[in-house]
Structure 1
Amino acid sequence: MTMQSAPAPRRRIGLVGAGGIALAHMPGLLRLGDVVVHSKDGAGELADTFADAAASAGRTVTVAATLEDLLAAVDVVDVVVPTPAHATVVRAALAAGKHVVSEKPLARTDADAEDLVARAAAADRQLYPAHVVRWFPAYRRLHKAVTTGLLGDLAVLRFSRSGAFPSRVPWFGDRTQSGGVVMDQMIHDLDIARWVAGPVTRVSAVSVRTGTDDAPVEEAPVEAAHVLLTHASGAISHVAGLWGPQHLAFTTEYSVTGTLGSLSHSSLAEEDTRSDLAAPTTVDGFLPAVDPAEDPYALELADFVAAFDGEPLPRVTAADGAVAVHIANAALASIESGQPVEVSL
């Protein structure tokens, strides 16, 4: 008689938080297991929103009354609470013996970010920051172009990211809580710049903000910043970010130039990535067609959960998340002082 092994238990994923980014995480989480949600507000509404999708996938979405209840019921934890609460929730999840995904930034302060990395190592648990831009096709192409030498030695990198000021969620606009446009929005491009151009030795930044927080939504403030990174290689990255008027569409761009050519991207362009290389015949198949159905959030979460199961480690680490926090805070320090900040990141 052939003995059949018992089926693997269903994975239970805890989602802590039910704000806007939870909507982006839920489809990917439902591909991976049953979901238990806990949040100060909105957990029931989030569960209701995805009830049909869960049923179609043969999954369940349930609500936990407390964080403790959630931690007792799940195998892994996905943290999508507001930035000021990241460190507290991640610590609790690690203390409960769970592998953890945390939305970016890993923490608001350098000390908290370093503490989380140390706690994960001490607990022998995996912790990953959700720097999802590393999973977007245009940025994967850029990383491949650099790591395969197609652009040669990098010289100048320019990144920009624009969107409407997040006036409907007050804590976003409070720099002490969110870190403002630098920590909340531009941290993606600060991370990408280091991912492709290597360690950073100097950070210099300026910013401007107009308008008042108590203005009507349609007259929300505008905040912009420019951050200049000097890399150990000698390359220079210019990162620009804008939280603009409420009608402003979300857009991203980059242009990266090295000794063998350049690569650029614009989310507004019909052909979103363009190359200008000295020997284009050497890059056959370098810019493959991208399936628009690919969901970078789902791909990111799938890679994290696969790593939890013992498969290869993903393309971002807890240490990367802590370094991104350090760079963003160095930029904020430069804005306050008007002087560049020397770092070793």
Structure 2
Amino acid sequence: MIQRNGIGYVLKKHRALYLLMLPGILYYIIFKYVPMYGVIIAFQDYSIGRGVLDSKFVGFKHFIEFFYVNPDSWKLIRNTVMLNVYDLLFHFPAPIILAILFHELKNKMFKRIAQSISYMPHFLSTVVIAGILVTFLSPQTGIINFLLVKVFGMEPILFLGLPEWFRAIYVSSEIWQKIGWGTILYLAAIAGIDPTLYEAAKMDGANRYHQMRHITFIGMVPVMIILFVLTLGHFMETGFQKILLLYNSMNYETSDVINTFVYRRGILDADFSFATAVGLFQSVIGLILVIGANRIARKHSETSLW
């Protein structure tokens, strides 16, 4: 007989829910945890012929080479950090602001249309997004340069050939592509706010701005904290595909990041050990940031990942 407080009873009672969880669990086990054994090649001179177990152990050789021998290492770290700092400053708050604006719309039909339009760029592939950017920013046929020349009387600008423009182009395209989809969780958080709070605020004389500031925004804070902590886990990573499609020798100074360097060194040059070492460095920094941010969130609020 199965005990009511035993694992078997719980599994049988909630078997449908556990079956729904099973594909996600298998995905993370197969594609996230099993490949982790390959991290050891970061400490080896890995050879495909010898395999993981028989390759020569070299300790921290590849880490030392990246930080002290490679002349571009600090430029790569700087570019990666700067792109992610700009992303946090401008991209992270954008869905929050848009979700609040959607919530404040009273015309339901216009609200649905606006939301649908904002979701559309999310479903475009990165290749299509990059193609749109290249076309729009072209100095010969791009609409941006057409307006600069015809409306403002300026000379055409080679946007993707100037390093100082790359970060603005990348971050603004990220906002345009992801802002609508990013509102979904925030709108769900707003939907969970008790309507009686708004009614009580109205009775106390609060206008729409005060309701938005003291009720809507505060109700979104737990979701904001969780997403911020999760975002920090990818702080040393960037949108590799988009950068790979947009960068070139003229804007390397600001566009070349750790992920593109790892792609060239690890895939094109087949230096798998060095690429793994750099990737491990990124993961460790992300782990430290997540643990630190979660600890701060748990200390100063009631919301945290664990």
Q: Structure 2 length normalisation: TM-score?
A: 0.23
Structure with more of its chain in helix, by fraction: 2
Q: Structure 1 length normalisation: TM-score?
A: 0.21
Structure with more of its chain in strand, by fraction: 1
